[in-house]
Chain A
Amino acid sequence: MAVITGSPSTHRAGDLNITWTDVGPFLALAALLVAGFLINPDFLSATNLANVITRSAFIAIIAVGATFVISSGGLDLSVGSMAAFVTGITIMFMNAVAPHAGLWAIPAGMLVAILVGLLCGLANGLIVTIGRIEPFIATLGTMGIFRALITYLTDGGTIPIDRSLREAYRPVYFGTVGGIPIPILISVAVAAIASFVLYKMKYGRKCAAVGANEDVARYSGISIIKTRTIAYIVQGVCVAIAAICYVPRLGAATPTTGQLWELQVITAVVIGGTALRGGKGHVWGTVAGAVILELIANLMVLSDFVSEYLVAAVQGVIIIIAMLIQRFSNSK
């Protein structure tokens, strides 16, 4: 039998293949930071950066979950409404048990949040996989359902968290550990766990295979139903974690909570380098994408270039340019 022509570098050569898709989002992030500094030096102040990155934590955490769903070839439009719904249920639960349990209501409420998020994700997953309904339509449906439920629960107004819990819970959003805001730590932890699952565990392999080519996955003996449903469950749990960080910020759930988050989440995932049609997920890229989105918004306010009426247009242009740069550097 013939010997291999040439000598392929045998030592895990593939792992070191760094592509534009991998570094693109971080380059964009760096470019944005430089541009921001030139426009307004305050942009790079510790307070401003801490504020902006903390703010991006919700989208980042949810988008990490969305990376699973999109990587597995699905889509979840319900995340924004789901976040509002989970927030509402969590606050109502905490308020209900606060008189008996005192501050224990907070961790108990967190567990409830995770449970509710998990069930919402499971529902989405089963509708898509067992029900065989297009993810777009299925989650458009649940998006309406979750939004209506939170509107119903709040009577269209707000559900504020009990005053006795407010101060104790506040640090989860406003507190810091070692100078780093807690939401940032949480999102880094979520992303770290997620990237371990996606890149180092069998499940991640299956997830990417199902998203890249459903037939190949099926012919390789991988359960598509199981793999996708788990992705939606992960998404639900991520939404719950985001909700847990969100509650202490304004201390209330309203029918407008989480509005349009789904679009920001999808944008973050795509900016991060994960293809909308499925396949390999880029967890850290997604996190960078979420930060980029928030930085652009921040920069719009800090600069005086753009009329308040045109802010959204400029944001749109920047996102499209970022994607075009990625596209062209990819197809090179």
Chain B
Amino acid sequence: MFSRKWMAAAALGSLLLTGHAMAEDKKVIAVSIPAADHGWTAGVVYHAQTAAKEINAAFPGVEVIVKTSPSAAEQVSAIEDLSASRKIDALVILPYSSEELTEPVKAIKEKGTFITVVDRGLTDPTVQSLYVAGDNIAVGRNTAKYMIDKLGGKGDVVVLRGIPTVIDDERIKGFQDAIAGTGLKVLDIQYAHWNSDEAFKLMQDYLAKYPHIDAVWANDDDMLLGVLEAVKQSGRTDIKLALGGNGMKDIVKKVIDGDTVTPVETPYPPSMIKTAIYMTMANLVGQAPVRGAVKLDAPLITKDNAKEYYFPDSPF
């Protein structure tokens, strides 16, 4: 019963779709990402839209559609609507949450769509044809290594973490694993929800609580902005390093300008969406088989290579 109905639907669908494809004969790449609600996602939206513009202009045979959604539920509806209204050759998705999106994405894959998952993995890794992500553990680890190096292996550090999620946990874990056994000591670690205002307050409190702090690590650049403001207000000079993460343009600019307190930056660049879109296109158009998992490294951004990571037009 069930299968017969589906076969009929599929037959009808493929008839229609072939007609459609013959008329246009364009490969369609749908990009589904969260709406811009803070700095990093704003960067994602910016880079996705830039990639779409570039590809649509350069490759007449490819059409990139970018769809933003403000919540997981709406993202599910968005991809269902996209795949219902037209044939999608590839879907590039940065899922809001792994659990809620796995099944809907799986349903689209079953129609023969190439699936590229970015940043947050789905719970079932077999769904993805391609996985592009930054390395959150490396973000923490590389920051820690730089601190150990710069502070001569010992010192007092305070940490501001974001929102309880896998990303936050991995960064903290990478940092803590790297400093284990060294003379670096974490005095305190508290949530500041990746929010500059909360980070400002939290840093003020850290400064009140600890008369001596060698270094601060805010695991996101939005928070680092608040930290820097609080340090500036206190007039304290004991803080030698204040590091962030994610590659916000204001912080990258500081690195370029040779700031002493924030001399380096670790990228977890929102531009990874652009990388993913280009790789997906290569698979569709260039017939270059691109499958598997790609983990973007989190190399330290220093004064030497900072220009590579500086996007002055991006909102992030």
Task: Name A residues whose Cβ lies closer than 8 Å to a Cβ of B.
Answer: 40, 42-43, 45, 47-48, 51-52, 55, 151, 154-158, 160, 174, 249-252, 254-257, 259, 294, 297-298, 301-302, 308-309, 311
Q: Across the two chains, which residue of chain B brings its CB closest to A258?
A: B197
Nearest B residue to A259 via CB reads: B195
Q: Number of residues in B with C-beta < 8 Å to the partner?
A: 38
Q: How far is the CA of A222 from the CA of B99 in the complex (A)?
A: 55
Contacts of B189 in A (CB 8 A): 308
Instruction: Kindly report which residue of chain B lies nearest to residue A48, judged by CB atoms.
Output: B208
- In the complex, the chain B residue whose C-beta lies closest to that of A298 is B205
- Chain A CB within 8 A of B190 CB: yes
Q: A157, B225: Cβ atoms under 8 Å?
A: no
Q: Is B209 an interface residue (CB 8 A)?
A: yes
Q: Considering only CB atoms, which chain A residue lies closest to B191 in the complex?
A: A308
Q: Are A257 and B37 in contact (CB under 8 A)?
A: no
Instruction: Considering the complex, give the chain A residue whose CB is closest to the CB of B201.
Output: A55
Interface residues of B (CB under 8 A from A): 35-39, 41-43, 45-46, 161, 164, 188-191, 194-197, 200-202, 204-206, 208-209, 222, 225-226, 229, 233-234, 250, 314-316
| Given A156-B42, A250-B226, A297-B201, also A151-B208 (CB < 8 A) | no
Taking A256-B37, A301-B209 as given, write out 20 further A-B residue pairs in contact, using a Cβ cutoff of 8 Å, ordered by the A residue number. A43-B208, A51-B205, A155-B36, A155-B46, A155-B315, A156-B36, A156-B45, A157-B39, A157-B42, A157-B316, A174-B233, A249-B200, A249-B229, A254-B196, A255-B37, A256-B222, A259-B195, A294-B201, A301-B190, A309-B164
Residue of B38, B161, B202, B226 touching A255 (CB-CB under 8 A): B38
Residues of B within 8 A of A43 (CB): 208
Given A250-B226, A302-B209, A154:B200 Cβ within 8 A: no
Return the contact of B188 from the options A154, A259, A301 (Cβ within 8 A).
A301
Per the bound structure, the CA–CA distance linking A156 and B195 in Å amounts to: 13
Residues of chain B within 8 A (CB-CB) of A254 are: 38-39, 196, 222
| Assembled-state Cα–Cα distance A42/B204 (Å) | 13
Cβ of A256 and Cβ of B46 under 8 Å apart?
no
Interface of B is mostly: helix
Of the residues A156, A249, A259, contact of B315 by C-beta under 8 Å? A156
Minimum C-beta distance from A12 to chain B (A): 43
Give the one of A45, A51, A52, A55 with max B CB within 10 A: A51
* A301 partner residues in chain B, CB cutoff 8 A: 188, 190, 202, 205-206, 209
Q: In chain A, what residue has the closest Cβ to B208?
A: A48
How distant is B236 from chain A, measured CB to nearest CB, in Å?
A: 10
In the assembled complex, which residues on chain B have CB atoms less than 8 Å from the CB atom of A45? 208
CA distance A311 to B37 in the complex (A): 25
Residues of chain B within 8 A (CB-CB) of A259 are 195
A208 CB to nearest B CB, Å = 33
When A and B form their complex, which 3 residue pairs have the shortest distance between CB atoms, in order from nearest?
A156-B36, A157-B315, A156-B42
- List the A side residues contacting B234 at CB < 8 Å: 47
Q: Which of A160, A252, A308, A311 has the most CB of B within 10 A?
A: A308
Query: Residue among A156, A174, A301 with the most chain B CB within 10 A?
Result: A156
- In the complex with contacts A250-B200, A254-B222, A154-B209 CB distance below 8 A: no
Residue of chain B at shortest CB distance from A43: B208
Decide: B39 and A250 in contact? CB cutoff 8 A. no
Closest B residue to A304 using CB positions: B188
How near does chain B come to A47, taking the closest CB pair, in angstroms?
A: 6
- Determine if A156 and B196 form an interchain contact, defined as CB atoms under 8 angstroms apart: no
Bound Cα distance from A93 to B90, whole angstroms: 43
Q: Within 8 Å CB of B191, what residues of A?
A: 308, 311
CA distance A160 to B315 in the complex (A): 11
What separation, in Å, do the CA atoms of A256 and B225 have in the docked complex? 14
Residues in B whose Cβ lies below 8 Å from that of A160? 250
Interface pair B229/A250, CB less than 8 Å apart = yes
List the B residue with the shortest CB-CB distance to A309: B164
Q: Which of B197, B202, B250, B316 has the most CB of A within 10 A?
A: B197
Which A residues are CB-close (under 8 A) to B45? 155-156
User: How far is it, in angstroms, between the C-alpha of A251 and the C-alpha of B188 when the chains are bound?
Assistant: 27
